[in-house]
Structure 1
């Protein structure tokens, strides 16, 4: 059955709220019964494009420095988001997560999208960072994860060895800003309904049903 609706999603592969938002969108698609009629397209958005390439920092340390708060407050913040993730069936391990520059990961997402594997690689990278404690600027790790979802290893290496798809990553970010996104996750349904953040499932259900009704009209 041809897709009746299109959902564009801007997301970063190290964003804990993005994984929660992804699960809530998926729950809404199941609840509405639209899963086989929706074309979900994943777009790149770096939360911190200025993070120095090659710098690896424990997420707890990064957050403490970014917000100027003590470690105990950071632990409370990450515990809260981990509890919300658990309600969506996700087991976060943010105490092991490493903050990195995500440009290479997003460049591979662009490659994957061109082969119909954008959703699969985005899911794998989110899980790798947030659940498995993988380091997402490590070339061998990225190659292995990309191969797991079916990408050609030689093609992946060629992308990582050059600057392929960097312009596409930047174009995605510009598109998000034009649409009014100030952070991620950011969802646009049929170029009309916009959802900012990991909203409750009911918000996705309402937007999907409104879009479906408009498409039918």
Structure 2
């Protein structure tokens, strides 16, 4: 079963939601049969990757509030993050463009490291305060998860994977996704926002049951004959 997750690496609720989803997945009976795919979404495609403007300053300008008020708005978010074991440091984060970060995730996917790259980007931004729009830093982060730094740097200087990022963004738009995080389960169910682990687990179970329904087998020639336990098991599990 496939779960597609549209998110952005400077979105705090995307990281919080990611962790809540992972907590739900740990309790899901068929977790080894779930394919997780991270999809591209940019909160601000026009952002300058090298502005280094503080998050507080960005929020103050965007919503017409004071710097102090902007700081206050992040307190509750940091507390939500802490509740699921994450450490957010908004005093270190900066406004940046994430297009290259999404391209890097596509690159990492070719080496089977999409999951590791996504987690590293989130942690680098929210916990360590790195600018995930800076190509030099992105290449270093790629090396930290086992990729070749020079090769990653070369890719980032090119336009590779740009088309895939744009295609995923367009796909999300066609699905009606206007905000992130957004989770799509086998294109049958959707969950918007950093919901509780219970909501994610319930959706996983619903989607799984629909994909792998139980069925009643009637023995040929005997309409009253059923399996000994009242029902037959589903077909061989499919991912």
Correspondence for 2:36: 40
Q: Secondary structure at the match of 1:99?
A: coil
After TM superposition, the structure 1 stretch with the greater mean CA deviation from structure 2, 79-88 or 129-138, is: 129-138
**How many angstroms does 1:153 deviate by?**
2.2
CA distance in 2, matches of 1:204, 1:75: 30
Alignment partner of 2:108 out of 108, 112, 125: 112
Match of 2:63 among 57, 67, 84: 67
- Asked if 1 retains the 8 angstrom alpha-carbon contact of 2:45 and 2:99, the reply is yes
More helix by share: 1
Query: Which 4+ stretches in 1 moved above 3 angstroms?
Result: none
Aligned residues: 213
Alignment of 1:1-217 (within 5 A): 5-217=1-213
- CA deviations over 1:27-56 (Å, ceiling 9, x no partner): 111122332111001111111001134322
* Equivalent pair of 1:100/1:136 in contact (CA under 8 Å): yes
SS where residue 168 of structure 2 aligns?
helix
The answer (yes or no) to whether the contact 1:7–1:38 under 8 Å persists in 2 is yes
After superposition, the C-alpha distances for 1:131-163 in whole angstroms (9 at most, x for unaligned) are 001111222211110011122223212211111
Q: Distance in 1 between matches of 2:148 and 2:130?
A: 21
The answer as to whether partners of 1:11 and 1:42 remain within 8 angstroms in 2 is: yes
Mark the runs of 5 or more structure 1 residues left unpaired by the alignment: none
TM-score by length of structure 2 reads 0.86
Shift of 1:80: 0.5
Greater gyration radius: 2
Give the distance between the partners of 1:53 and 1:91, measured in 2 at CA.
Answer: 23
Contact 2:49/2:134 (8 A) holds in 1: no
For 1:140 and 1:80, the matched residues in 2 are separated by 32
Following superposition, the deviation at residue 168 of structure 1 comes to 1.1
Answer yes or no: is the 8 Å Cα contact 1:21–1:197 preserved in 2.
yes
